[in-house]
Amino acid sequence: MGISTVSIIGLGALGILYGSHLSKHMPFEDLRIIADQDRIQRYERDQVYCNGERCRFNYVTPEMAGNPADLVIFAVKYNDLAAAIDAVWNQVGEHSIVLSTLNGIISESIIGRAFGMNKMLYCVAQGMDAVKTGNKMTYANMGILCIGDMEPDVVSSKVKMVGEFFDRVNIAYEIDTNMYRRLWGKLMLNVGVNQAVAVYEGNYGTVQREGPARETMIQAMREVMTLSEKEGIHLNEDDLRYWLRLLSTLNPEGKPSLRQDLEAKRPCEVELFAGTVVELGKKHGIPTPVNQELYDKIKMIESTF
């Protein structure tokens, strides 16, 4: 038994990136893009482009019955997660494996409550610099997907099956046996880079070079590091350097998702970033002034929409 059918919900930057890639390595009918009829009509009218190339997708509505997918990938924003869960019920079966590329540290538990935690694997998308403007997405670095079991120090048959599929379709990946720590590391990076770039109205280059934006980013990341001690995760300076090195590989002209959302005057995921940090700070009685300031500034920007 292996993975032969894949369903993706969400055609943001990551949904387009992986949808476009998979469409070139799988039979057309085996890759399904789940969307409501209105969205499908818009996609078919305006088309969807990845690095200038028109994507050819097999669109499927939530109501359409059929065999469940072997692999279901959530690639939506957090604000759209509840609707996405409702939309994929016909795609999830007894033996389906579910991955979430969402930011933050809570999407797996939310999806798992709906479909069963036994179907979930942890997943972290890192190293990609995809930028989406309207119906066009561009990227220079595809990055990798880090996958692993919910339990540490285990490599299950589900993880091996996904790894074998990624090998077959040429998706770069890494198996991590401590994925919750990896999620916290990605949270630390996102709390810094997404919010600093948004507030300083820049791009990756803004925080790759020395200056106030980079200093703010690192201070925000250190607040996550401090809280991780209280949560039993124990991020350290080596982790900070690892994620900063990853940041240095991204296209300087690229922009993280939160910056893209604010530029497009869309609600952003600040609650997943500074919102999470501030609440954890209150829980443990630890001040988080940098993230509080970033939160306030980003909410102020949102209030002008």
How confident is residue 66, by pLDDT bands cut at 50, 70 and 90? confident
CA 53/CA 74 separation, integer angstroms: 23
pTM of the model: 0.90
| pLDDT score of 1 more than 80 | no
CA 63/CA 90 separation, integer angstroms: 7
Domains of the chain (ranges; CATH) run 6-177 (3.40.50.720), 180-302 (1.10.1040.10)
pLDDT confidence of residue 156: 97
Please give the radius of gyration of the chain, using alpha carbons only, rounded to the nearest integer.
Answer: 19
Segment 202-221 mean pLDDT: 97
Average pLDDT for the chain? 95
| pLDDT score of 142 more than 90 | yes
For the CA atoms of 276, 282, 283, 288, the dihedral, rounded to the nearest 10 degrees, stands at 60
Segment 28-45 mean pLDDT: 97
How confident is residue 176, by pLDDT bands cut at 50, 70 and 90? very high
